[in-house]
Amino acid sequence: MKFLAGSWVGDWLTGLGRIAALAVEATVSLLTLKVSWRDLLYQIYFIGIKSQSVVIITGGFTGMVLGVSAYIQFHKIKMDTATLAVVGVSMCDELGPVLTALMVAGRVGAAIAAEIGTMRVTEQIDALRTLATHPVDYLVVPRLLASTLALPLLTIESITIGIGASYLVGVYLLGIDPVYSWYNMLKYTGNIDLIFGLIKAFVYGGIIALIGCYKGMSCSVGAQGVGRATTEAVVYSSITILITNFFLTLILQRVATMGL
């Protein structure tokens, strides 16, 4: 049992080190402008524009559910107009970036791992090397850059849709005063909440792309290997996002407390 546990920890640390090495290599490639701009534009379209329907639905219904739940509690103490303020802070700081990242990880992370994994199985990655094309420059960098650019924009969209949907439900379905509700939301939802959410979204975008590319480039041979890499990309990305969210929240709140 101890041997199995030690083997699992060793494999986990090895994978973490390889992902870190891949991130460093991709960053160096990006800084030297070894980017395929055509591939970058396509990945922005694939990751950003084609993920909008999922993000809109997620943000809208999350905002509505959160608004109804907050209203039920605040209505007991006659603070109905504070409902939208809770929704605004929650969507900007936590729910907006986290839920958007989880949905994008399920859609984009799986697609990245499957695409690169298929290229590895069919030896297309080896063919790139024979053509003097570095796989990191051609495959990883465009996806990494597109993901880190698209996810903050998708998060802003999710936050906007969520707050707007909660406002409509609160005003027209629950009968909350629209003026005071909007005033309290603007009063208690600061710019710092949105900045924290965008910082988290930027980090999550990098996590999704890196794990998806790593799993695709290291998958085993065969259709079963591609399927396993796809599943692991989604699961590991989601778990990493949730764990990272905890530590990012602690760090960012600490920075805000220090006034930096």
pLDDT, tens only, 8-47: 566 667 777 777 887 887 788 777 776 777 888 999 999 9
Rounded Cα distance between 164 and 159, Å, is: 8
- Rounded mean pLDDT of 203-218? 90
Element (H, E) at 85: helix 83-90
- Per the CB < 8 A criterion, the answer to whether 236 and 124 are in contact is no
pTM of the model: 0.89
Asked, for residue 228, whether it belongs to a domain, the answer is yes
Domain count, the chain: 1
Amino acid 77: pLDDT: 85
- Rounded mean pLDDT of 173-180? 88
Residue 145 has pLDDT above 50, yes or no: yes
Residue span of the structural domain in which 128 resides: 51-258
Asked, for residue 30, whether it belongs to a domain, the answer is no
Percent of the chain whose pLDDT exceeds 70: 93
Rounded Cα distance between 184 and 259, Å, is: 23
Asked, for residue 15, whether it belongs to a domain, the answer is no
Type of residue found at 129 = R
In 3D space, the residue among 67, 253, 39, 83 whose CA is nearest the CA of residue 165 turns out to be 67
In 3D space, the residue among 166, 200, 149 whose CA is nearest the CA of residue 63 turns out to be 166
* Of the candidate ranges 10-14, 99-103, 153-157, the one whose mean pLDDT is the lowest: 10-14
In 3D space, the residue among 222, 55, 257, 38 whose CA is nearest the CA of residue 145 turns out to be 38
- Per the CB < 8 A criterion, the answer to whether 125 and 26 are in contact is no
Amino acid 4: pLDDT: 47
Q: What is the pLDDT of residues 103-121, one digit of tens each?
A: 999 989 889 998 888 888 8
Rounded Cα distance between 66 and 45, Å, is: 30
Amino acid 91: pLDDT: 92
Rounded Cα distance between 253 and 23, Å, is: 26
CA-derived radius of gyration, the chain: 21
Asked, for residue 154, whether it belongs to a domain, the answer is yes
Tokens of 110: 């799986």
CA torsion through residues 71, 74, 76, 79, sign: negative
* Mean per-residue pLDDT over the chain, rounded: 86
Asked, for residue 39, whether it belongs to a domain, the answer is no
Total length of the chain: 260
Asked, for residue 26, whether it belongs to a domain, the answer is no
Asked, for residue 122, whether it belongs to a domain, the answer is yes
Rounded Cα distance between 220 and 98, Å, is: 30
Percent of the chain whose pLDDT exceeds 90: 38
Asked, for residue 19, whether it belongs to a domain, the answer is no
